[in-house]
Amino acid sequence: MSASARSSHQQDHYLSRGSAEYKRGSLALFAAGLATFAVLYCVQPLFPVFTKTMNLTPAAASITLSVSTILLAISLPIAGFISDRVGRKSLMSISLVISSICCLLTALAPNYGSLLIIRAFQGIVLAGLPAIAMTYLSEEMEPKSLGFAMGLYISGNTVGGLFGRISVGTITDLSSWRWAIGILAMISLIASIYFWRHLPASRHFTPKKMQPKEVLSLFAAQFHDKGLVCLFILGGVLMGGFVTMYNYLGYRLSDAPYHLSQTVLGWIFILYLVGTFSSTFMGKLSDRLGRSKVLWINLALMLFGILVTLSSHLILILLGAAVVTFAFFGAHSTASSWVGSRAKLGKAQASSLYLLFYYVGSSLGGTVGGLFWSRAGWTGIVDMISILLLIAMFVSLELTVVLPKKAPHHLK
């Protein structure tokens, strides 16, 4: 087959919206996102439980999540390097299965120290899914279908985080946190098998036998594009603020005057459903209006929402949290798809760096938020998140400045 024929054949096999393979691939990645984020964030509603049963401070309890996210962040570039050699689907499948086993071991952890060790290892193996999933989408999806597919994948992340938190919170009240996490581990394993069986094989992936020095040069190359650097920073800043809000919302609402039960605290994460809608909605909206405008809309909404949570009325607190959630997932969907489109050299490395900043922001913000909580309560949390959002607005302004004046509309 000639080079031109090969090129034409490959072009015909991009996954386009409406095709059976597009649907299978999108649903498989939805299931993968669900399993990944269910097991990653299942400990978040348990922070007050860990504080009471293990005699921990709120900041120490939050480390059970932060240790996973920080090691996931550090491992992302390594996972991207391995995937360039062995392929996307195989590494993602192995990652999902092992992370499900780690979740089961979490339920059996005898003490805080062993719990941290298992969660740390789980963070390392989970790295085999997020960055590679984004790369798979950017490689295999038809460009005009990428926004919706990326939104659906992020929706899976949202539903997974929601399901993990709600199920663990509810089962903990009925039985114990160990049974709750053990049951979640089995569900995650089922989702992992579904993903392995239904994700279409890569058609546009070519193994790259690069040396570590070459890979490092590709990572370094991403920092030559100021637009990508702005997107990386945005991911970290926004995720840091978002995780901080939910890390300490449970402490606020379990205390006077609300005294909400563990089950109700778990169900508060039903607010993540608005993120499921906004990630797909904003993905399609960005295809029409341009990413810059959609990003600014979401930043303004996040700031408005977090200020609303200063109210002492429970309904207004939840409404404000819902607005923050809606806007965060809209901004994340916009920024992450922008990275995949903007990176012309080393897409896997660009995606890995975006998620590296994203999860470092989650880890640092989630734990540092404990210091703000201890010093100033919920007002301190709102102050911290507002500062992060102002930084995000400044970075977004810089992002607008560095855009090429005559860039294609879908890159604006």
Whether 163 and 243 map to the same domain: the answer is no
Whether 166 and 234 map to the same domain: the answer is no
User: For residue 131, what pLDDT is reported?
Assistant: 66
Whether 307 and 339 map to the same domain: the answer is yes
Please check whether residue 184 lies inside any domain of the structure. Answer: yes
User: For residue 130, what pLDDT is reported?
Assistant: 78
Q: What is the pTM of this model?
A: 0.77
Please check whether residue 48 lies inside any domain of the structure. Answer: yes
pLDDT by position in tens, the chain (length 412): 444 444 444 445 777 777 778 888 888 989 998 999 999 999 999 998 998 889 998 889 999 999 999 999 888 888 877 887 777 888 999 999 999 999 999 999 999 999 999 999 999 999 888 768 877 887 888 777 777 787 778 778 878 888 898 999 899 989 899 999 999 999 999 999 999 988 888 787 776 676 777 778 878 888 888 889 999 999 999 999 999 999 999 999 988 899 998 889 889 988 878 877 887 788 778 777 777 888 999 999 999 999 999 999 999 999 999 999 999 989 988 888 788 778 777 777 787 788 889 989 988 998 899 899 989 999 999 999 999 999 999 999 888 776 654 444 444 4
User: For residue 5, what pLDDT is reported?
Assistant: 44
Cα angle value 374/375/381 (rounded, 5°): 80
Whether 219 and 356 map to the same domain: the answer is yes
Whether 180 and 291 map to the same domain: the answer is no
Please check whether residue 5 lies inside any domain of the structure. Answer: no
Please check whether residue 411 lies inside any domain of the structure. Answer: no
What span, in angstroms and rounded, lies between the C-alpha atoms of 83 and 78? 9
Please check whether residue 129 lies inside any domain of the structure. Answer: yes
Whether 114 and 191 map to the same domain: the answer is yes
- Tell me which residue range forms the domain holding 287: 214-403
Question: Which of 177, 202, 227 is a domain's end point?
Answer: 202
Domain harbouring 367, CATH code: 1.20.1250.20
Structure confidence by residue, pLDDT tens digits, 180-191: 999 999 999 999
Question: Which of 145, 174, 202 is a domain's end point?
Answer: 202
Please check whether residue 408 lies inside any domain of the structure. Answer: no
Whether 160 and 48 map to the same domain: the answer is yes
Question: Which of 151, 182, 202 is a domain's end point?
Answer: 202
Residue that has been written with the tokens 């939805």 in this structure: 30
Domain total for the chain?
Answer: 2
Whether 131 and 185 map to the same domain: the answer is yes
User: For residue 369, what pLDDT is reported?
Assistant: 92
What span, in angstroms and rounded, lies between the C-alpha atoms of 99 and 136? 20
Please check whether residue 389 lies inside any domain of the structure. Answer: yes
Whether 154 and 225 map to the same domain: the answer is no
Tally Cβ neighbours within 10 Å of residue 277.
15
Please check whether residue 410 lies inside any domain of the structure. Answer: no
What span, in angstroms and rounded, lies between the C-alpha atoms of 7 and 10? 5
Whether 220 and 167 map to the same domain: the answer is no
Whether 36 and 182 map to the same domain: the answer is yes
